[in-house]
A and B are shown apart, each in its own frame.
Chain A
Amino acid sequence: MSIPILICDDSGFARKQLARSLPQNWDVEVSYAANGVEAITVIKDGKADILFLDLNMPVMDGYQVLEAVRSQDLPTLVIVVSGDVQPEARQRVMALGALDFIHKPIDSAKLLAILEQYGILQELDGRGSSEEAQDSHLLIEDLTFDIQEGYQEVANVGMGQAADLLARLLGVFIELPVPQVRKLSASRLPQLIRNAIPASEVSVVTQGFVGSGVSGEALLFIEDSHLDGLAQIIERQVDINAGRQLDLLMEVSNILIGACMGGFAEQLDLKFSMGHPVLLGRALDVKDLPLKAVNTDDELLTIEMCYSIQEQHINCSLLLLFTGDSIPMLDERINLLVE
């Protein structure tokens, strides 16, 4: 008999990526859910002996699903699959009764090892007919997704890796909203930046990258007043001099840009050369940012990620900007991930 499993993730791309990472010949019947509410319905229908659960989702997130499963004693084993690799995220879900926690991007070999470890793979091998296996394969092929979701997922993972490093530096938990992916005309960039960064006094660092037919810049924005907050966390003192503030800014930029671009390149199997980071300014009004590209009608791919430490009301934004001519290569690599 096939094992009913459920893949719950708000991203169609992520659902497909997970479905194709499942062990071949594993006799399963896969259902899909795009948020926690849908997932609960499927579980109650008895179609989810095993639930692969994402954490960050709209409507009802993964943490809430775990709570519901526990409080209502729903019949499902939950394996959390998330790009949030901070130790605290793992602790939280394990405490809520998850069986295990798998990091995105999902690694088929690791997934297989975990399934074996918990003895939920016995249905594998000869039991499932090859015809059925063929069928489920077709199903995966049929799963559709928007390319935007692919970017979002890759960004999500890169962002998670960067957050993990920042969390370790600061010793706090970093909230990770879903990254925003847009393709837009370069002339709309100033508007995007103004909406993303409402403050009028920010420090901005930019670092260019180029390689494998892809190029662009990573821009980091931190409100100047938030740098004091960061200093409080790291140095445990309120006032730091301007030199130390700049050091701190560069430390955060090294971590967020380095880890995020590293994660991005690794997932897409691209290699970049990184330029030296440049401080565009401090106490800068984003209206005054020098944006050469705004004069052109070029298309840009923008990925906006916001990192925030809620307790301290600190947040900073990382904006990855890819030039229009990078898009074909990026699209190709994203599609390769689920082929």
Chain B
Amino acid sequence: MNQGIAVSDVHWMMDALQSIEVGLLVVDSDNRIVAWNAFMEHHSGIKSASAIGANLFQLVPNLPVDWMTRQLEAVTALKIPVYSTWKQRPYLFRFKSYRPITGSSDLMYQNVSFLPLGSVSSESANICITLYDVTQSAVSEQAMNQLNDELAHLSRTDRMTQLNNRGHWEELALREFKRCRRYGNTSSLVMFDIDHFKNVNDTYGHQVGDEVIIALATTVRKMIRDSDMAGRYGGEEFVVVLSDTDAEGAATFCERARLEIEQMVVEALGETVRFTISLGYSQMNPDVSSLEVWLKQADAALYYSKEHGRNQVTLFDPALIPL
């Protein structure tokens, strides 16, 4: 404080520091507490009379001693303020939140500053630690992030099958296409649909048809790796990008899928349904100048499977299949 301050003014200044809604404590170079305001008293339950003169780490249990020591040392050595945010460390002092009834957090989130205080002998300068209660904004931000994640998931996912929806799948496939073009990777694109799906719907009803689609999607989800991208392209039409997988690997995948579906029995609403799928796939090749071309090739191969008896797998071959 300035020397110009009259003694009579010190009283209200101390009062202001006492009652400010910010935690304020000052420690000396041996971590002994020099000041401890009302905010600290009330939230910690430790009276300032017992706090002052005590070693901070002995007085307050559960402080992250190593981490705090490092911060305090940095302030002393470098003479710069050091900050810690709630994202880094939700709280330093384990205080209850201000809204035990209507709040959504039991504990108080804190932003903390460690500020070097000026001193006549700079060797043993004190450090001011201030605690800001940021529970409200922390909780709102977390809620917003969670909401955003949910919204993002919803906007990317096909509700019925939990596979990627067409829009999001196209984004992923485009990224994979570009990656292959840039780095020369070989990935494959598979397209397939359910044979005579209209018959399933007509015979058993749409609800059973939906169960068939869900069963197929579940099987596909189990078969793919984390790096593969499966999506529902249309009603009963599906797409999978098998990343870093050549025609041979894709053939194995397709054949396995075809067999599994052929052997699968779907039981829904008292009905027992068996069905098959037709597949077409295209390995990334120099002719694939865009995602559209890649899709067209896989689609043409799928059409070839359909034309040649269904329940089979076809690799796109420009010599055999017209685009």
Contact = CB atoms under 8 A, between A and B. Distances in A.
- Say whether A and B bind each other: yes
Contacts of A262: 80
B121 interface: no
B85 A165 contact: no
Contacts, number: 41
Contacts of B81: 254, 258, 274
Given A247-B67, A262-B80, A278 B85 contact: yes
B113 A254 contact: no
A64 B84 CA distance: 42
B78 A246 contact: no
A250 interface: yes
Given A247-B67, A276-B111, A258 B88 contact: no
A276 B85 contact: yes
Chain A CB within 10 A, most for which of B74, B78, B81: B78
Contacts of B82: 254, 258
Contacts of A279: 85, 87-88
A298 interface: no
A278 B134 CA distance: 12
Contact of B78 (A165, A247, A274, A278): A165
A276 B83 contact: yes
Interface size bucket, B side?
A: 10 to 19
A254 B80 contact: yes
Contacts of B78: 165, 168, 255, 258-259
Contacts of B111: 276
Contacts of B95: none
B88 A247 contact: yes
B80 A259 contact: yes
Interface of B: 67, 74, 78, 80-85, 87-88, 111, 113, 132
The 10 closest A-B pairs by CB, nearest first: A258-B80, A254-B82, A246-B88, A276-B111, A277-B83, A165-B78, A279-B87, A250-B88, A259-B80, A258-B81
Interface of A: 165, 168, 207, 243, 246-247, 250-251, 254-255, 258-259, 262, 274, 276-279
9 contacts: A246-B88, A247-B88, A250-B85, A255-B74, A259-B78, A276-B85, A276-B111, A278-B85, A279-B88
Given A246-B87, A250-B85, A254-B81, 9 more contacts: A165-B80, A207-B83, A250-B83, A250-B84, A255-B74, A258-B82, A259-B80, A276-B111, A276-B113
